[in-house]
Structure 1
């Protein structure tokens, strides 16, 4: 009988943040223990590619930006930015109206806990929709953890599900199309007796097949909110680390992405470390390639170091079985990862695309909104300490309809346009930003910002807006381009999501334990706490509420942590009436405009969870915990529908010292079974709308 590990409630002091060392080892290649890749001062330009330093003055941010909100209200010099009144500390609780909660959030908050299960509010029910290893393709066998094979895994649901999308399926009543990312594998929890120094070829090939994406039709039980997969449906699909993908946009065919296996520089095998993502108005899904660096061995160039590629062997040792993961043999292979992937889930024969015009970095995800004339704007965060967040403004308009010509046209929308990076300027004196998280005298952390153009891609070529870099270099070495133009270093910018009701944009910043520590950059108004363990959420208002604008106002909507901690802030809502939250990661919206936040690495000693928070009205800032996930797990991929919430439970049981032989969790199938990442659906027992 396998022995269950005791609960590890408090992370080791040697490991920063709230996540286990085992998770960081397999998910991001121990990024927490490596030197910060961004060593730029952002004061002068450094030509890393050529190896020579070219000094020039930094582009200066405007101290005040005129911002006009959708209502026509302007924020001029000496006045707060648009919407600032809504951010001021709220009236005392005794002076406010007291409905049970904001509409959409009327459920009994789940208290922080360490239960080894998914805990949901009273009056709600749940079911496991699909697990790692469940068969989805015709011919795939039932999951047998003791007799795994690469062939079986290629037809089964992948490992460590993250981003989720539920799409309509016309003509099939009660059915929807589920699309899931599979971010990474943890071989210690997948294989009995795994030897990390000597993995077998079969184990490596199983891991290749467990990465990537899954598309599976799911069916709703009419008497409840329960969802179950429909195996062998013709739309079901697996995409893995060996599936063919197509490079598109300004880098396709470049010398920077040509390899011995692909001398044309347009065909790539696989997608890796897909974290968050998004859906498009034209019916496709987007998937961000995040910690791709950890899969490549023997990096030696300055550009490799800037992306965190190591100089030795990798954790999984894939380079022993395929030379493309050995940069000493295939130095350009790493340049073919770190993009946003677009998938047409309605066409199982289509070749997914990697859109190079959206830049190459550790994409947490990609979310889309349209300009007033129908052009796409894509937001994306680069998930690492002191990295940046970006947007892409397309130059081509979306075509409506489902004809083949419309769909083919829309699949090219993300290949032409301008890529920007954000620079934020605070409006408080520097002396008031002391790293403690104490609010400045004006009562909030806020200011103005600008989107700095990096490069523009057109049908006839591409143009760089960064001195000393070609357009191809900008799109491949996007971090370097952002360094050169003086972008604002943020505390791990992750998911970025526009509010469909108000148009404001929300950026989850998970944490940064290195902020203000040693020689690393100290706190600034957009990142106001040194040694930031709990993270924060930034709210951004584009000028005139137009997503294509190059000016914006910003404020911190939430400064996370224990509400009893004076450094926390909940949009001015009384802190004795909110749930504690730590490490915001994935975000989503409901139909009421409430922001839903999934956490990753809770540093408060309880398990990760899903939270809803009102973004407007007199309950703005009221945050309530909706669920918690099992021991060692992370909450991912929230989908908030009127009558259902869907989450991905990623890496359950992933705590230090855990293995197949010594599991730290018995979820989801109980004692004596393998711990398996899975998708969970939650609904109201009475069939009513969520939180109403």
Structure 2
């Protein structure tokens, strides 16, 4: 057995898990330092039983010790003009069976944990930056100049802190595609020269930050016959688009649209909102649109202490302070737009926390916020077409002790009818998960020791919350349930989970995989104790949660579940890798996003590695004898988080978002902790990785 590489200490003061304190401040407003929003008495399981590229910053594994796009099968449209949404073709994005001749074994040599300020990939692979913060998106946009940055400039440039990555093919030849990326949050300390405090920011700087939020749509072209991609060249790029928190209008759909909860002085009909906030992960739909989840929106609002008294418990359940006008970490956006002051506009916060749908093939179309999918701190949403023809979206609420959800559409998917399919998320049934373990409570002792049957597993029920305009929660209307979905989950006794983030159906097996990132409060003090789905006290490293819907029917209301991976150092007895020899697997901490290649291998990106190494991208088989053989494929630079990933349908390219490089306490634009990717100061960026011999990534 080879000696496992020694883990190195963190370079900056750590926040919770492996996150630096600076990340905790800017990403979620120090959420872990505030009381847990879920104060419900729900039982836990224990009670139940510039071409945009650079060669700098790339290191292959030999020097230190994958994403699939179904392009070939995609139907396309001419590049000369952007098509209307109703006539746009349906791209074939989600492989439903393994690719011909594609073996499931992952053959790359895993890279070791490290603390390098580089992007590290295995031998035999290459990687390049596709787009970085400030790169031009709209034709005529200027290059980034941090000393001359304005909201107008930023609104035409690639935004900050890219998280979700989706790729939609254009044309039948596999040469062109649309990259859709969301921009979760800004770190002004690393953006503005001479930055001192959030309170001291000018209104113009606040507007730049607002313009750096949102989403970017950028046309790409393949480089030669390789797996490399770059921004398309030319003056006519009709699909390129910036969506911002500053000015982009969104339409509400579904039962809560027009309800009293969504009405404001600026929008008395409750029909539309301006902007989208803190967009985290997302998903690509079978009809070629992109979903994006609004997550930690609470930190953008002030004045909760002066909100109406009957509204305060609802605001508090979503992490909005009702005791201080300016809670710690407040971004002070109310100085630029008054709507962020809840003392004056108490309903404005209800207009965020939704799943957003953007049609990249309709650049003039208004993006939508789908109320039928509920309001929570959405990590994202991923859709699969069930055997009945209904589409099913799986979602996680990224907070300690919050819940897993699924949505089943009222209407059925119709292949080739894009106009119809664009309406599928506007009406349906919303469920929340309640779990039971199958082992005696005494066998779940908080140490992570497996129960006598050798696996953490059990059964579950999808509890119906609302269907169409009918509520199934006593005392709550359909609009109440959808606007305050967390309270509805509390009311029906949903199971409290360890930060459920990305939830993804396997296109090969149909099983569902959720990343439960961590929960340092599990079993600590008066917080809920351990259970079979969340089996460790003070859970620093997280776990992967697997759902098998009964009879393979994604519309079923019952399921079985298990934990195939309990993360951490394999040398730690509290870890588990589906029974695989732990001396052969890579250490992993804090899983965040998940994706699949066409062979059905599970790819996992991490956020906040609590083992002392940079975050990374990992892959493992989830079926057969290699199940649990987890290997590290990539590490990101210092202070960064690994986001995405997206694997193209031909298995030749892996897109990864490198978020917040250099986000380490004490860093600034002038004194960066990371100089990736260009050698001057840190810039979030999307990268693509491919095999040098042109073969499928991973194997």
TM-score, normalised to structure 1's length? 0.88
Distance 1:378 1:371 in 2: 10
- What secondary structure is seen at the aligned counterpart in 1 of 2:120? coil
SS of match in other structure, 1:37: coil
Shift of the 102–560 alpha-carbon distance from structure 1 to 2, 3 Å rule, reads farther
**Residues 471 and 517 of structure 1: CA distance in aligned 2, closer, same or farther (over 3 Å):** same
Q: How does 1:258-297 map to 2 (within 5 A)?
A: 258-297=263-302
Size of the aligned set, in residue pairs, is: 624
Tell me which residue corresponds to 2:142: 141
In 1, Cα distance between the equivalents of 2:300 and 2:165?
23
**Counterparts of 1:265-344 in structure 2 under 5 Å?**
265-300=270-305, 301-310=312-321, 311-313=324-326, 315-344=330-359
Which residue does 2:93 correspond to in 1? none
Pairing partner for 1:534 from 541, 551, 559: 541
Structure 1 distance, partners of 2:456, 2:103, is 24
Structure 1: segments with no counterpart, 5+ residues: 1-6, 44-57, 64-100
> Could you say which residue in structure 1 is the equivalent of 2:34?
34
2:495 corresponds in structure 1 to 488
How far has the Cα of 1:360 moved from its partner?
0.2
Q: CA RMSD in A?
A: 1.8
Deviation, structure 1 residue 361: 0.1
In 2: Cα distance, 1:450 partner to 1:194 partner: 50
Paired with 2:45 and 2:528, the residues of 1 have a C-alpha distance of 19
How far, CA to CA, are the matches of 1:41 and 1:274 in structure 2?
30
Change (3 A) 1:61 1:397: farther
Q: Structure 2: how far apart are the matches of 1:263 and 1:535?
A: 43
* Cross-structure match for 1:581: 588
Report deviation, 1:61: 11
Which one of 467, 484, 491 corresponds to residue 477 of structure 1?
484
What pairs up with 1:286-685 in 2 under 5 angstroms? Answer: 286-300=291-305, 301-310=312-321, 311-313=324-326, 315-401=330-416, 406-457=417-468, 462-641=469-648, 642-670=651-679, 673-685=680-692
Shift, 1:12, TM fit: 3.6
The structural deviation recorded for 1:10 is 5.7
Shift of 1:225: 2.6
Whole-Å separation in 1 of the counterparts to 2:34 and 2:103: 43
- Deviation (angstroms), 1:176: 0.9
| Map of 1:76 onto structure 2 | none
Conserved 8 A contact 1:136-1:230: no
Q: Secondary structure at the match of 2:501?
A: strand
User: Structure 1, residues 22-77: CA drift from partner, whole Å, max 9, x if none?
Assistant: 0110111110111100011116xxxxxxxxxxxxxx999997xxxxxxxxxxxxxx
| Partner Cα separation in structure 1 for residue 193 and residue 108 of structure 2 | 41
Q: Which residue of 2 aligns with 1:71?
A: none
CA positional deviation for 1:660: 0.9
| Segment drifting more, 438-447 vs 190-199 | 190-199
> Is the contact made by 1:371 and 1:377 (CA closer than 8 Å) also made in structure 2?
yes
| Superposition deviation, residue 399 in structure 1 | 2.4
Partners of 1:449 and 1:644 lie apart in 2 by 36
Contact 1:59 1:485 in 2 (8 A): no
Is the alpha carbon distance of 1:578 and 1:386 closer, same or farther for their aligned partners in structure 2, counting shifts above 3 Å? same
Q: Which of the residues 209, 212, 220 maps onto 1:210?
A: 212
Moved more, 561-570 or 634-643: 634-643
Q: How many angstroms does 1:171 deviate by?
A: 5.7
Residues 432-471 of structure 1, C-alpha deviations (whole Å, 9 max, x = no match): 11111000111111000000000111xxxx1110111111
SS at match of 1:224: coil
Task: Name the SS of the counterpart of 1:179 in structure 2.
Answer: strand
Kept in 2, the 8 Å contact 1:102–1:619? The answer is: no
Deviation at 1:691, TM superposition (A): 2.3
Deviation for aligned residue 1:299: 1.4
**Structure 1 CA distance, aligned partners of 2:610 and 2:11?**
8
User: Quick check: 1:643–1:684 contact (8 Å CA) kept in 2?
Assistant: yes
- Structure 1 position 386, deviation (Å): 0.2
User: In the alignment, is the contact (CA less than 8 A) between 2:12 and 2:665 conserved in 1?
Assistant: no
The alignment partner of 2:147 has SS state of: helix
State the distance in 2 between where 1:410 and 1:591 align: 24
- Measured after TM superposition, the shift of residue 689 of structure 1 is 1.6
Distance 1:466 1:598 in 2: 36
Distance 1:296 1:499 in 2: 37
Report the TM-score, using the length of structure 2 for normalisation: 0.87
Deviation, 1:415, is 1.4
1:175 Cα deviation (Å)? 1.1
Q: Which runs of 5+ in 2 are unaligned?
A: 1-7, 50-101, 306-311
| Distance of aligned partners of 1:8 and 1:59 in 2 relative to their CA distance in 1, 3 Å threshold | closer
Q: Work out the CA distance in 2 between the residues paired with 1:630 and 1:439.
A: 35
Distance in 2 (alpha carbons) for counterparts of 1:537 and 1:59:
17
SS state at 1:213 partner? strand
Counterpart-to-counterpart distance in 2, 1:510 and 1:102: 29
Note the C-alpha offset of 1:153: 0.7
How far, CA to CA, are the matches of 1:687 and 1:146 in structure 2? 41
Shift of 1:143: 1.4
Task: State the distance in 1 between where 2:204 and 2:625 align.
Answer: 58
From 201, 222, 227, the equivalent of 2:229 is 227
2:19 aligned residue:
19
CA distance in 1, matches of 2:556, 2:135: 45
Question: How far 1:187 moved relative to its partner?
Answer: 0.6
Alpha-carbon distance in 2 for matches of 1:62, 1:668: 50
| Pairing 1:92-131 to 2, within 5 Å after superposition | 103-131=104-132
- 2:152 matched residue in structure 1: 151
